[in-house]
Amino acid sequence: MGKAIKKLAVLTSGGDSPGMNAAIRSVVRTCAYHDIECVGVYRGYEGLIEGDFKAMDARSVKGIINKGGTILKSARSKEFRTEEGRKKAFKQLTDANIDGLVVVGGDGSFTGALIFNQEFDFPVMGIPGTIDNDIYGTSHTLGFDTALNTVVDAIDKIRDTASSHNRLFFIEVMGRDVGHIALNTGIAGGAEEILIPEEDLGLDRLVESLNKSRKSGKTSSIVIVAEGDKIGKNIFELKDYVDDNMEGYDVRVSVLGHMQRGGAPSCFDRVLASRMGVKAVESLLEGETNYMVGLLNNSVELTPLDKAIKGKSKINLELLRVSDIMST
């Protein structure tokens, strides 16, 4: 057991995601509840190195639970990747009498937190904040549910225009390494095909499947493409290939891009962020360190940071089968 914790810091790092503000609010209010001081660190590890801190009390986080982005700002810090940079960060924390750090971010941010702990024996706790849901040790990362709703809303709108013009739309969604967003929104949006990094459908089978659905009477089609899909062509090359090898459709592309990261967090993400913040602070107070809080079987549990970093977040194979059956 380390020394008693009297003051904690919280920062947001890496790509922002809806729900980060709700997590900051939860960390700050849990500290207030336990009579612990709390400090917000601006711009992730960059602000940690520079000592860009702000004392936060329970009232300072009013009106943010419903806001996307992060009031503490996020950043990627090259300097924190160096020992010199991390030494500066440690000095800033000790000069401010801070006893522990909550990091809201993705696996890169957790890697930084773990290295920092190993070098300075400084207590750290991670909260998974990324829309991609690509972190081991939690069924949901903060922002994933909101991003799903944003994407489904966009698919519904695109479907309106697709069916009015007999169009085939390729819609690109985020997901370089994992297809969680594509798979879930593809099912919810009634996509004919879903291309994900975990599965190589191949161009011939894609065209075959689209032809089949057109012959079965469909007048419009939507294909959801994860950024990192395995076919190995970018979405515009995919469109050209299908244009050249299929008749009967006007083929279009829509890249949803950064809109997927923004917007008011869903009810699910607000509740999840509130639960994760409580667990992160209370675990630090109990003397735990080097863990990530995550949702497992609807319970907020701790997973060692090294496991969360190294582990693979796997797609649900049952969903793949459901999507196949639904596109019949």
Residue 84 burial (C-beta neighbours within 10 Å; 0-12, 13-18, 19+): exposed
Inter-residue contact 180 to 144 (CB < 8 Å):
yes
The helix (H) or strand (E) run that includes residue 11 is strand 7-12
| Interacting residues with ligand ATP between 121 and 140 (CB under 6 A) | 130
294 is a site residue for ligand ATP (CB under 6 A): no
12 is a site residue for ligand ATP (CB under 6 A): no
Task: Report DSSP letters for 104-138, one per residue.
Answer: EE-HHHHHHHHHHHHHH---EEEEEB-TT---TT-
Closest CB to ligand ATP among residues 176, 212: 176
Closest CB to ligand ATP among residues 40, 85: 85
311 is a site residue for ligand ATP (CB under 6 A): no
What are the Cα distances from residue 256, in Å, to 128, 182, 233?
23, 12, 17
CA–CA distance, 71 with 137 (Å, rounded to integer): 26
Task: Report DSSP letters for 42-74, one per residue.
Answer: TTHHHHHHHT-EEE--GGGGTT-TT--S-TT--
Least spacing, CB of residue 113 vs ligand ATP, in Å? 8
Other CB atoms within a 10 A radius of the CB of residue 183 amount to 26
User: Which of 40, 68, 69, 112 forms a contact with ligand ATP (CB under 6 A)?
Assistant: 112
213 is a site residue for ligand ATP (CB under 6 A): no
User: Which of 5, 8, 10, 15 forms a contact with ligand ATP (CB under 6 A)?
Assistant: 15
Q: Out of 16, 99, 132, 145, pick the active-site residue.
A: 132
Token digits of residue 192:
């004919």
Closest CB to ligand ATP among residues 80, 170: 80
132 is catalytic: yes
CB nearest ligand ATP: which residue?
Answer: 108
Closest CB to ligand ATP among residues 105, 186: 105
User: Which of 40, 106, 143, 175 forms a contact with ligand ATP (CB under 6 A)?
Assistant: 106
Q: Which residues are catalytic?
A: 132
